Every structure is written in structure tokens, then in C-alpha cells.
């Protein structure tokens, strides 16, 4: 475990009140945990901006009746097999499916694949959740 460093910083009263509200609203035990998460979120954003190795999940909601859509989605995943870790497919109802695809690779490659999946006719919604391999967060 890393050694803790105690920091002191100053905030204007209104900003300090906002910080307290955010800590409470997000159910953090204390300000330190909240600030740690803010810093980590910024580090993850930098990893993505720099195109470093990253971890992500894309969630797709689509109409499986759309002609050739399933084939296109599978072909895109096969074309990027080196970054696909896992995929989970669920049936939401008679017409709609959801698919969650976990990926690990260069951030730009992941973004490109997510865009290609999102652009397919019949995909009703796509959401990219960007994360980190964790190597640079400790």
C-alpha cells in the first residue's frame, strides 16, 4: 500500500460548500476519498487522450430483426479480435437485444471500433464506458 501524504488546500466558501454537497450526494465517507476519485478520473481521461492502453465496455441496444445486422456486428468484432476480451448478449424482448463488449487495447482503436458498431443501421443506442488498465492509477 502506498504511503499517504497529507495535503492542505484552500477553497472559497461557496466552492467548499459544493464540495461537501458532492461528497454527501455521492455517499463518500470523507472528502479524501472523493478527491482521490476525482484525481483518478482525470488520470483515466489523460490515458484516453494520450491513446494509451485502456479498458472499455461498449453497450449496444439493437433490433435483431434488422437485415444482416447480427452478421455486421460479429464481423466487426472478429476484425478486432485482438482487443475483444468478452462479449455478453442478452434478449431484452422479442425484438430487442443488448450486447456488452469488453475491450482492452489502444484507446483510439477502441474508440474507432465503438464508432463502427454504433453506426450500424438497427443499433438504437450505444454507450462507451472508458476505463483504465489500472497500471497508472496507484
What is the value of pTM for the model shown?
A: 0.82
The string of DSSP letters for 4-65 reads: P--------HHHHHHHHHHHHHTT-SSHHHHHHHHHHHHHHHHHHHTT-EEEEEEEEEEETT
Q: What are the angstrom distances between the C-alpha of 103 and each of 23, 34, 53, 82, 129? A: 31, 27, 10, 9, 10
pLDDT in tens, 4-32: 899 998 999 999 999 999 999 999 999 99
pLDDT in tens, 49-105: 888 899 999 999 999 999 999 999 999 999 999 999 999 999 999 999 999 999 999
- Quick one: DSSP state of residue 3? P
Rounded Cα distance, 24 and 26, in Å:
5
Amino acid at each position: 500500500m502506498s504511503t499517504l501524504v497529507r495535503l492542505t488546500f484552500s477553497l472559497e466558501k461557496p466552492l467548499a460548500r459544493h464540495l461537501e454537497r458532492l461528497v454527501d450526494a455521492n455517499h463518500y465517507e470523507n472528502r479524501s476519498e472523493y478527491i482521490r476519485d476525482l484525481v483518478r478520473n482525470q488520470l483515466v481521461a489523460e490515458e484516453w487522450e494520450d491513446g494509451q492502453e485502456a479498458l472499455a465496455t461498449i453497450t449496444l441496444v439493437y433490433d435483431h430483426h434488422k437485415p444482416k445486422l447480427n452478421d455486421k456486428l460479429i464481423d466487426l468484432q472478429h476484425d478486432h479480435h485482438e482487443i475483444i476480451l468478452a462479449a455478453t448478449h442478452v434478449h431484452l424482448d422479442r425484438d430487442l437485444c443488448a450486447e456488452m463488449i469488453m475491450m482492452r487495447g489502444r484507446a483510439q482503436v477502441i474508440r474507432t471500433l465503438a464508432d463502427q458498431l454504433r453506426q450500424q443501421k438497427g443499433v438504437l443506442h450505444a454507450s462507451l464506458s472508458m476505463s483504465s488498465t489500472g497500471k497508472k492509477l496507484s
